[in-house]
Structure 1
Amino acid sequence: MKILKAFINREKIKYFDRISMVSSFFNSTLGNYSRIYSFSRVTDSKIGNFTYISHQCIINNCEIGNYCSIARGVKIGLGKHPTNFISTSPIFYSLVNPLKKIVSKSQKFTEFERTFIGSDVWIGVNTLLADGVTIGDGAIIGANAIVTKDIPPFAIAVGCPAKVIKYRFSEENIEKLLSIKWWEKDISELESYLNLFQYEVDDNVINNLINSIK
C-alpha cells in the first residue's frame, strides 16, 4: 500500500495524462503541456509550461521555467552538508536525518536551498545541480556536468565543476532576447511567427522577432 501511495496521489491524478505512472510527484505544480517521464521523482517544485522532465530524474525544491529540456538522469536539490563544521554528519546539526537519532536540539544548518532554472534551458544527461544555484534563461548545461555556481543567461557550461565555455549569441542579441522574454508569450502568438524559430540566429532573425512581438 505504501508503494502504491508513492505513485498515486491527488496532485498526480490532476496531471495523470502527463506524468508517468511509475514516477512520483508531491507538493508540486506542472505547467501546461509539460511532461514527466518514467522513474522520475518531483517534490516541492514548480514546473513551467512546455517543459519536459526525462526518465530517472530527481527534482527537489526547484523552480523550472517554460520550454525547458531536462534530460535523463538529471538530479537537482539533493541537499548538502557543512564543510566547515567539525563533522559533516547530519546527526549533529539536523532535526531530520536518515539515522533516526536526534542529537541537536535545533536545526543548525540549511541543508536544502531552492534552486532556480530559467526558461528555454537545456540540461544534459546525468547532470547534477547543487542546491541554491540559478541557471539563467536560455542556458545550456552539458551532459555529466556538476553545477556548483550560478550560470548566466544563454551561457554554455560543461565539466566538473561546470564552467562557461561560450555564449550562444552575441552580447547584444542576448540583451535583446532577455528584453522581449518570448518564453512568457502565449503559444498562439509564437505560432504566428514560427518560422523565426526554425533557423540559425543572426541579427535579422533577432530583429524580426522583436518587431513581431512588439
Structure 2
Amino acid sequence: MHIDFVKLSKDHPTIGDGSQIKDTTFGQYVEIGSQNFIDNSNIDDYTYTGQFCFIQNSTLKRFISMAAMVRIGPTNHPYDRPAQHIFAYNGAGYGFGDPDTEFLQKRKQVKTVIGNDVWLGHDVVVQSGITIGDGAVIGAGAVVTKDVEPYTIIGGIPGKKIKDRFSDEIKTDLEKIAWWDWSREDLEKYYQDFRLPIEEFVKKHS
C-alpha cells in the first residue's frame, strides 16, 4: 500500500524501514516496503513490494506490483528425513555440528520466477519452483502451487484459474510488443498510451 509516493532512484533501490536484504541484486526504480526479508534473489526494474513481504531464491522481473504480506519461494523442510526441524540440517545455532551444505545448496537452486507486469494481491503465497507468466493477476490470499500462464487471473487455495484477462489474440500481441523491455525514452514517449483501451494500445504498437 502506498500512502505517499516517493521519488524513486534510478541507481539505488528505495528500501523501507526494518527490511533485511541478503545476496540480492536490484534493477532501476525499485521500491522495497518496510519489514521485508529478501534472500538470494534478483528484483528487476520498476518492481515494488508492500510491507512484510518474504522473498527467497527468486527472480522478479519488471513492473511487478506486490501488495503486503506476500511470500515468494518459501523453502521446504526435508520431510522425507527422520527430522524436519532445522537443527538436523543447519543446527549451529543450537550448538550442533556443521550444516548440511549439500541440502542447503540444492534448496537455494530451486528458483521461483515472477514475470513482467504481474500483480500479486495481499497475503499471496507462491511456492518455490513456480513460474508465473507475464501479466498475470494473483488474487488476495491465493496459494500458488502450479505454474501460471501469462495474462490469467488466479485465486483460491490452491490457486486456480478464474479467467483470462484478454483474448488469446491480444495476449499474443502484448507478448510481442513486450512494452516492459522498452527503453526509458520510449516509456516516456508513449506514457499516455498506457491509459488507452487495450485494443487501441495493441493496434498502435503491434
Confirm or deny a common fold (TM above 0.5): yes
Q: Partner of 1:95 in structure 2? A: 89
Q: Give the alignment's Cα RMSD to 1 decimal.
A: 2.5
C-alpha contact 1:45 1:60 (8 A) present in aligned 2:
yes
Q: For 2:205, give the aligned amino acid.
A: L
Cα gap change, 1:96 to 1:118, in 2 (>3 Å):
same
Q: Partner of 1:30 in structure 2? A: 26
User: 5 Å matches for 1:158-169?
Assistant: 158-169=155-166
Aligned to 1:29, what secondary structure does the other structure show? Answer: strand
Q: Partner of 2:35 in structure 1? A: 39
Structure 2 distance, partners of 1:106, 1:23, is 26
Q: For 1:40, give the aligned amino acid.
A: N
Q: For 1:79, give the aligned amino acid.
A: T
User: 5 Å matches for 1:78-93?
Assistant: 78-82=74-78, 85=80, 87=82, 89-90=84-85
Structure 1 residue runs without a partner (length 5+): 1-13
TM-score under structure 1 length normalisation: 0.80
Q: Partner of 1:194 in structure 2? A: 191
C-alpha contact 1:77 1:131 (8 A) present in aligned 2:
yes
Q: For 1:27, give the aligned amino acid.
A: D
C-alpha contact 1:54 1:71 (8 A) present in aligned 2:
yes
Summarize deviations over 1:67-116 as a string: whole Å, max 9, x none.
11011000112211355x36461569x63257664699774684441110
User: 5 Å matches for 1:136-151?
Assistant: 136-151=133-148
Q: Partner of 2:66 in structure 1? A: 70
Q: Partner of 2:57 in structure 1? A: 61
Summarize deviations over 1:25-65 as a string: whole Å, max 9, x none.
11111111111111111111110111101110011111101
TM-score under structure 2 length normalisation: 0.83
C-alpha contact 1:95 1:107 (8 A) present in aligned 2:
no
Q: 1:180 aligns with which of 168, 177, 181?
A: 177
Structure 2 residue runs without a partner (length 5+): 1-10
Structure 2 distance, partners of 1:191, 1:104, is 50
Provide runs of 4+ in structure 1 moved above 6 Å: 103-106
Q: 1:122 aligns with which of 105, 116, 119?
A: 119
The percentage of aligned residue pairs carrying the same residue is 33
Aligned to 2:185, what secondary structure does the other structure show? Answer: helix
